[in-house]
């Protein structure tokens, strides 16, 4: 039996949708769109690869122009735009001053509705980025190539921090604010950060959370893993007030506003970085326990983020663009910060939860700011549809364009988004991509293609996917599901896993590579870890992960990470985590634990498991159920059959289990979870 059979993948529990009717983009959208030339696909064909990507690189200002488009000598770590020198902060800020000095770069909406919005013009952004860069240089001694971890909520100080670091060539590693201090500490240690930048508190769902308390935990965790954090810089959410209960640690903790006092009016020259120097790390869950730091380049990444923002997000400088993701995820990096700001857009940021204080909130914000491009995840669309299906109609806003990202969207939910939120006029793009890929891989080009609910669409210009079966044979259009891979490199592709090149090659390139010595990109198809089907019209439908990753509300969680958190509970001997279909979140983890001999179960153990998951990872990983089972269903060689547990959790038939070592336990667990009778009905 292969390992594949022991696990259950998201793809295996994917709902099978039928072929859907297409929707045409509105004439009014097409009339103003950035990309209306179908020849773009010819220009970006494999015959013109890699030179075609010059078109994206030329959206940027280069301090020194590059000479080699793609260098494959270090395959499969690709180097793009070699010889080029560039600064990301300069491209997102300085170069817009001449034309757009007084234009809003960032509009920040605090969660409390009575707190005024904060509007930061490009000039103001320039001043704040420079002054903070001076703090980082002078008070922290940071220089190009150093790493800094950022653990902050959705406040304008977050992009300011990123851009200030990028100005110095310091590699930033933003950790999602909702992650626990422990999760943050592990990422600090892995990246070797000596400085942590955080905030004292923020609003979430009507309460001011004490975020600063996570910093102590993070520093302790990093120390235990051998990494000393020398300085913790703390932004204050409320001017002149400190909202945390935690005491400042002398000689380690500093209020940013106080350090800034000394830097009034200081300007810092942007450091010209090599195109292939890293801009940032973004940690994501993988198939083994440890999160991996995806390393993104400066020139290639920024070119790809800018190009896709321009053509797929259809951002013009006069647009008001709102992406409701968190900057702590790749979506926020590429499509709140780097892409939109590289194009001199107005990027809206919202501090809080979409449904606070009610499901009309996003539409009030859209109305008030006259947002015309809206970007969110299916999980949020499902939530808003459930909580306030008629809310969008009550507000006078008009989107020309909307995006969905992060997980498959059900056609029914897509149609609500289209008719109610888009009011039947907005073009929708369903963008499929990953932390690793820097930008979109598949999406319709909004003015060129019809939209098909539930399908991401054709590949992006210059992206050439192939669906392989397990043996490496390409699956033809109209065929069955398989592993979707990308045949060619592209500028947004990550360069390596920080500090673990072997794991990088193994995880992403080994599966379909035939010659590990090859320097030819054709020998290195990129393995995405997703299953997909390709319809005869050239549209891809993504089914979900084929590995041990669960996509919960659009956030990637490794089952191994969850299982190790369960094992921290003293009574727990074994743990297995499986994905369960969920109406709002897409997938949620169901947890099965077996106890050590002589240990008693009950609510204490269940609560212990939940608590351990929350402190090791964060609340987003909260399980659906914790089932305490007498024993795990196992093969005769002792491997836990997660597939069987997943069938039980998803209300499905468990199939033939007679070859297991302990078939009786399966029925016992089934009754515990599904109740008496036969649960053949599939959920979702």
Binding residues vs ligand WTA (CB under 6 A): 284, 329-331, 405-408, 430-435, 456, 528-530, 542, 544-545, 551, 556
Q: CB burial class (10 A; 0-12, 13-18, 19+) of residue 223?
A: middle
Pick 544 or 579: Cβ nearer ligand WTA: 544
* Smaller CB separation from ligand WTA, 113 or 412: 412
- CB nearer ligand WTA, residue 193 or residue 528: 528
Minimal CB distance residue for ligand WTA: 435
User: What is the rounded CA–CA span in Å between residue 59 and residue 598?
Assistant: 66
339, with CB counted inside 10 A (0-12, 13-18, 19+), is buried
For residue 76, say if its preceding peptide bond is cis, omega within 30 degrees of 0. Answer: yes
Helix (H) or strand (E) holding 468: strand 465-468
Which residue's CB is nearer to ligand WTA, number 244 or number 507?
A: 507
CB of 527 to ligand WTA, least distance (A): 11
∠ at Cα 69 (63, 72), nearest 5°? 125
The least CB distance from residue 435 to ligand WTA, in Å, is 3
Tokens of 283: 């940690």
How far, rounded to the nearest angstrom, does the alpha carbon of residue 626 sit from its chain's CA centroid?
26
Q: How deeply is 472 buried, as exposed, middle or buried, from its count of CB atoms within 10 A (0-12, 13-18, 19+)?
A: middle
**Residue nearer to ligand WTA on the CB measure, 25 or 608:** 25
Point out which residues pair with 508 in neighbouring strands: none
Q: Which is nearer to ligand WTA, 120 or 330 (CB)?
A: 330
Cα–Cα distance measured from residue 323 to residue 376, given in angstroms and rounded to the nearest whole number = 6
Q: Where are the beta strands (DSSP E) in 56-111?
A: 68-71, 79-82, 85-86, 104-109
In angstroms, rounded to a whole number, what is the distance separating the alpha carbons of residues 383 and 365? 17
Q: What residues have CB less than 8 Å from 313, skipping those under 6 apart?
A: 321, 335, 339, 340, 373, 375, 401, 403, 429
Minimal distance, residue 430 CB to ligand WTA, in Å: 5
**Least distance in angstroms from the C-beta of 531 to ligand WTA:** 9
Q: Which residues pair with 283 in a beta bridge?
A: 293
Structure tokens at 358: 């009610």
655 DSSP β-pair partners: none
CB-nearer residue toward ligand WTA: 532 or 605? 532
Per DSSP, the residues of 208-233 read EEE-THHHHHHHHHHHHTT----EEE
Rounded to a whole number, what is the distance in angstroms from the first to the last CA of the chain?
Answer: 29
Closer residue to ligand WTA, CB minimum distance, 72 or 434: 434
The CB-of-487 to ligand WTA minimum distance in angstroms stands at: 17
Instruction: Report DSSP state, residue 250.
Output: T
CB of 361 vs ligand WTA, minimal distance in Å: 24
How many CB atoms are located within 10 Å of the residue 668 CB?
Answer: 14
Q: Which CB sits closer to ligand WTA, 220 or 537?
A: 537
Please state the closest distance from residue 405 (CB atom) to ligand WTA, in A: 5
CA distances to 110, 111, 157, 550 from 365, in Å: 11, 11, 20, 32
Q: How far is the CB of 384 from ligand WTA (least distance, A)?
A: 18
- Output the smallest distance, CB 289 to ligand WTA, in A: 17
- Distance (Å, rounded) from C-alpha 239 to C-alpha 212? 16
Choose between 43 and 415: whose C-beta lies nearer to ligand WTA: 415
Give the nearer residue to ligand WTA in terms of CB position, either 1 or 450: 450
Q: Are 229 and 194 in contact (CB under 8 A)?
A: yes
CA dihedral for 263, 267, 269, 271, sign (positive or negative): positive
- The distance of closest approach from Cβ of residue 471 to ligand WTA in the complex, given in angstroms and rounded to an integer, is 22
- Between 86 and 646, whose beta carbon lies closer to ligand WTA? 646
Taking the C-alpha atoms of residue 490 and residue 393, their distance in angstroms, rounded to an integer, is 41
405's enclosing H/E stretch is strand 401-405
Secondary structure (3-state) at 580: strand
- From the CB of 334, what's the least distance to ligand WTA, in Å? 8
Q: How many Å apart are CA 363 and CA 171, to the nearest integer?
A: 36
Distance of CA 49 to the CA centre of its chain: 27
The CB-of-325 to ligand WTA minimum distance in angstroms stands at 9
* Residues 10 and 544 sit within 8 Å (Cβ to Cβ): yes
Cβ proximity to ligand WTA: between 227 and 435 the closer is 435
* Shortest spacing between CB 431 and ligand WTA, in angstroms: 5
- C-beta of 108 vs 329, nearer to ligand WTA: 329
Q: How far is the CB of 409 from ligand WTA (least distance, A)?
A: 7
């Amino acid at each position: 039996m292969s390992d594949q059979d022991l696990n259950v993948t998201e793809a295996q529990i994917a709902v099978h949708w039928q072929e859907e009717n297409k929707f045409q983009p509105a004439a009014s959208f097409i009339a103003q769109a950035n990309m209306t030339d179908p020849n773009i696909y010819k220009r970006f064909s494999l015959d013109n690869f890699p030179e075609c990507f010059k078109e994206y690189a030329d959206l940027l200002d280069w301090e020194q122009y590059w000479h080699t488009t793609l260098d494959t000598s270090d395959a499969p770590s690709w180097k793009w735009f070699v010889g080029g020198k560039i600064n990301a902060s300069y491209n997102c800020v300085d170069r817009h001053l001449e034309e757009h000095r007084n234009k809003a770069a960032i509009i920040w909406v605090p969660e409390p509705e009575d707190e005024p919005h904060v509007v930061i013009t490009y000039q103001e952004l320039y001043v704040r980025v420079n002054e903070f860069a001076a703090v980082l240089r002078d008070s922290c001694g940071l220089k190009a190539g150093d790493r800094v971890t950022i653990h902050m909520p959705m406040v304008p100080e977050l992009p300011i921090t990123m851009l200030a670091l990028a100005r110095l060539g310091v590699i930033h590693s933003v950790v999602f604010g909702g992650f626990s201090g422990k999760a943050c500490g592990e990422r600090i240690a892995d990246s070797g950060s000596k400085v942590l930048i955080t905030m004292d508190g923020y609003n979430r769902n009507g309460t001011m959370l004490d975020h600063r308390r996570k910093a102590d935990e993070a520093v302790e965790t990093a120390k235990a893993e051998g990494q000393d954090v020398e300085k913790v810089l703390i932004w204050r959410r409320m001017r002149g007030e400190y909202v945390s209960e935690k005491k400042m640690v002398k000689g380690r903790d500093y209020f940013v506003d106080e350090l800034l006092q000394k830097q009034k009016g200081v300007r810092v020259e942007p450091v010209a970085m090599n195109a292939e120097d890293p801009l940032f790390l973004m940690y994501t869950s993988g198939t083994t326990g440890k999160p991996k730091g995806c390393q993104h380049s400066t020139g290639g990444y920024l070119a790809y983020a800018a190009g896709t923002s321009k053509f797929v997000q259809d951002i013009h400088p006069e647009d008001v663009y709102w992406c409701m993701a968190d900057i702590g995820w790749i979506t926020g990096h590429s499509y709140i910060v780097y892409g939109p700001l590289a194009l001199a857009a107005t990027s809206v940021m919202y501090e809080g939860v979409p449904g606070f204080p009610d499901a009309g909130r996003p539409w009030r914000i859209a109305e008030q700011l006259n947002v015309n491009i809206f970007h969110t995840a299916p999980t949020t669309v499902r939530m808003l549809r459930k909580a306030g299906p008629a809310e969008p109609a009550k507000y006078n806003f008009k989107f020309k364009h909307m995006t969905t990202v992060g997980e498959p969207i059900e056609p029914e939910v897509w149609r609500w988004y289209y008719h109610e939120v888009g009011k039947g006029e907005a073009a929708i793009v369903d963008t499929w991509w990953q932390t690793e890929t820097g930008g979109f891989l598949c999406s319709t080009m909004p003015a060129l293609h019809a939209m098909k609910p539930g399908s991401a669409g054709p590949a992006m210009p210059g992206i050439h996917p192939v669906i392989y079966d397990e043996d490496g044979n390409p699956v033809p259009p109209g065929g069955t599901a398989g592993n979707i891979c990308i045949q060619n490199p592209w500028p947004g592709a990550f360069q390596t896993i920080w500090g673990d090149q072997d794991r990088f090659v193994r995880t992403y390139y080994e599966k379909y590579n035939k010659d590990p010595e090859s320097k030819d990109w054709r020998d290195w198809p990129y393995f995405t870890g997703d299953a997909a089907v390709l319809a005869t019209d050239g549209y891809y439908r993504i089914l979900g992960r084929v590995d041990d990753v669960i996509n919960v509300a659009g956030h990637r969680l490794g089952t191994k990470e969850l299982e190790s958190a369960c094992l921290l509970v003293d009574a727990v001997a074994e743990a297995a985590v499986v994905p369960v279909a969920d109406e709002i979140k897409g997938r949620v983890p169901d947890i099965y634990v077996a106890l050590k001999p002589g240990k008693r179960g009950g609510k204490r153990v269940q609560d212990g498991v939940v608590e351990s998951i929350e402190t090791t990872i964060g609340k987003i990983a909260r399980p659906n159920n914790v089932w305490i089972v007498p024993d795990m269903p196992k093969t005769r060689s002792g491997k836990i059959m997660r597939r069987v547990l997943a069938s039980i959790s998803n209300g499905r038939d468990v199939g033939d289990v007679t070859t297991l070592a302990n078939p009786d336990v399966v029925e016992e667990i089934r009754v515990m979870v599904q109740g008496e009778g036969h649960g053949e009905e599939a959920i979702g």
